[in-house]
Amino acid sequence: MPLDATPARNGTIAEVNDLSVRFVTRDRDVLVVDGVSFTLAAGEVLCLLGESGSGKTVTMRSLLRLLPPSARIGGRIDVAGHDVTAMSDRQLERLRGPVAAMVFQEPMTAFDPVFTIGTQIAETIVSHEGISYRAARARALELLELVQIPSAARRLDAYPHELSGGLRQRAMIALALSCRPALLLADEPTTALDATVQIQILLLLRQLQRDLGMATIFVTHDIGVACEVADRVAVMYGGRFVETGPIDQVIAQPAHPYTVGLLNSTVHEISRGAPLVPIPGGPPDLADMPPGCSFAPRCSAKSTRCDEIRPVLAPISAGRAVACHHPTLAGAKP
């Protein structure tokens, strides 16, 4: 029997409290996600934004416990009322697909190369819902048509390597949607695609999310992508949230110097014609984090306090929070 995917009474589909993730090996113990908390309402899109290595993908994969054996998860993760951290492997199998599903970054590593696209989608449906293979294959065809794959009937019998990158990504979305999940997790699904196809996939994802009413968590390092798909954004740095809020407010008035740096180093509508200003330095070593603010070594506005005291994520206005001793938003107080 599939798990219940009904949102909580307050409309929340996912709730994460004080999430921490460590990778523990014989030689190292590295904290890669540190004290992350957020809620996600049914039908809402949250974008996790930040540079590579900031902890975005690990945070998202934690919601399905798709982490290597060396990972140690702390805190609490609730998805559709189910405590993911306390679930058995059998229960997780029932959660993945019907309740929450994932669109991976590279579909060639997610699809089995020796089976056709149609077979893999149909078998997923049969496994979770117990319907006949014929009915599952008919739904697989509907899904390929839903994600706008041309000649969908013919593509059912195609192998992954026979499809272009854009078509493979659409097929990957169809696979993720095959069991009608309440929560969709998308891990930089357009990174390997050219710009034209990227826009097509982003618009498709946003359209499907609205039409199907799914809650979505979208991981990206591209502010342009965040603007296209997100309702809210959480900016990550060094395994922590440094700024959160509605996407339009964060883009219009960024409060954290790191968010300002991301905007200044990315081409967007406001910056057209202006020179890009890169963020100096590189991301912190998660195995050797500084005692104060992790962004302080790269920040031009830092003070002695920034080097010594780690800022906490605190509200600065309705729906917005920032972890900074010197937030740049007018009227914000550290």
Helix/strand/coil for 223: helix
User: What's the average model confidence in pLDDT over 31-47?
Assistant: 95
Q: Please state, in angstroms and rounded to a whole number, the distance separating the CA atoms of residues 179 and 182.
A: 9
Classify residue 3 by its DSSP letter: P
The pLDDT assigned to 272 comes to: 64
Residue 243 dihedral angles phi and psi, to the nearest 5°: -160, 135
User: What's the average model confidence in pLDDT over 194-223?
Assistant: 85
The percentage of residues in the chain with a pLDDT greater than 90, rounded to a whole number, is 65
Banded pLDDT at 137 (limits 50, 70, 90) = very high
Angle between helices 195-212 and 165-177 (to 10 degrees): 20
Residue ranges with strand state E in 80-238: 82-83, 100-103, 183-187, 215-220, 232-237
Reported pTM:
0.90
Residue 229 dihedral angles phi and psi, to the nearest 5°: -115, -20
Identify the residue with better confidence: 265 or 270: 265
- The answer to whether the beta carbons of residues 19 and 59 sit under 8 Å apart is yes
Question: Which of 85-94, 195-204, 249-258 has the least mean pLDDT?
Answer: 195-204
User: What's the average model confidence in pLDDT over 263-270?
Assistant: 70
Of 98, 10, 45, which Cα lies nearest the Cα of 215?
45
- The answer to whether the beta carbons of residues 129 and 140 sit under 8 Å apart is no
**Contact partners, residue 117, CB within 8 Å, separation at least 6:** 111, 140, 144, 155, 156, 157, 158, 159, 160, 163, 171
Kindly tell me if the per-residue pLDDT of 47 is higher than 70: yes
Identify the residue with better confidence: 222 or 303: 303
pLDDT tens-digit series, residues 277-313:
888 888 999 988 989 999 999 998 889 999 999 999 9
Identify the residue with better confidence: 146 or 194: 146
The pLDDT assigned to 268 comes to: 58
Question: Which of 55-69, 118-132, 262-276 has the least mean pLDDT?
Answer: 262-276
Q: Please state, in angstroms and rounded to a whole number, the distance separating the CA atoms of residues 4 and 46.
A: 22
If residue 31 lies in a helix (H) or strand (E), which one and from where to where?
A: strand 29-41
